[in-house]
Amino acid sequence: MALTNEQIEKLEMRAKGILPESDAQELDQQLEESSELQKEANEHIDLYFALKALSLKPALQKIHEDLAAEGAFDGDPGNSESDVKVVPLKQPLQINWGWLIAASVFLCVFGIGILNFNHQRNDRLYARYASTLSEAYTADANTLGGFTQKGKEVFYYENFRKGVSLLQHNQPDKAIPLLKAASQSSNPKIQEDSEWFLTLAYLKNHDRSSAKKYATKIAGSTGHRFNDNAKHLQSDL
């Protein structure tokens, strides 16, 4: 299965930030039907941005040629530091600031474009698993009483619930340290849930490497409550 011309056009429109949301959702549904199609789409986007960068090459080459013509690269380095010859420029160096500014703006826009695209991809991926937040562990009265006797477990549980709440309110940066602390709990329910929601918090915070690290860990734990979710997420990261 290969990308159609229409799908390619939509991918490039999304990379530019001009694809309507309805079309973006339709495109995502089509890509989700095939892992090979998703891979091809990612490769096409990488190629798209690479070609965008290459389009700047002629302008940079022109700047180099202009500087060379003005004598910026003239001179003989000699055989040692003491023999260095400084050859004066044939004429005052004139830098084409217009080209330099244009190049800087292009690189800035290009970098922002890649960043925005990656952030949008992270957000869409997070949205697939956000529903699991409603499954977050909640201790009953008897269990809470047991936590009180153990001391530290109360601390872990409170951090866990606060972390989940912050993640639900789109504050992953604040949720991360709380969930990370809660993942040290000796209670398997708190520990497992903390690890999974910490994975989602990293993803929501656009830290894909940390998200993948925890997803891989959970995917390798056969009895983990979110093992299946982690396996799917791991393959998408």
Choice between 106 and 177, residue whose per-residue pLDDT is larger? 177
- Look at 15-29, 60-74, 86-100 and tell me which has the smallest mean pLDDT: 86-100
User: How high is the pLDDT of residue 121?
Assistant: 80
- The 10s digit of each residue's pLDDT in 172-182 is 999 999 999 99
Answer yes or no: do 140 and 223 share one domain. Answer: yes
In-domain check, residue 28: yes
pLDDT band at 184 (very low <50, low <70, confident <90, very high): very high
In-domain check, residue 112: no
Answer yes or no: do 44 and 140 share one domain. Answer: no
Answer yes or no: do 50 and 144 share one domain. Answer: no
- Look at 72-81, 171-180, 204-213 and tell me which has the smallest mean pLDDT: 72-81
Overall number of domains in the chain: 2
In-domain check, residue 48: yes
User: How high is the pLDDT of residue 79?
Assistant: 45
Does the pLDDT at position 204 exceed 50?
yes
Q: Which residues contact 234 (CB under 8 A, 6 or more apart)?
A: 212, 215, 216, 219
Does the pLDDT at position 89 exceed 50?
no
In-domain check, residue 67: no
Range of the domain at 18: 5-54
Answer yes or no: do 46 and 135 share one domain. Answer: no
In single-letter form, the type of residue at position 164 comes to V
d(CA 7, CA 25): 12
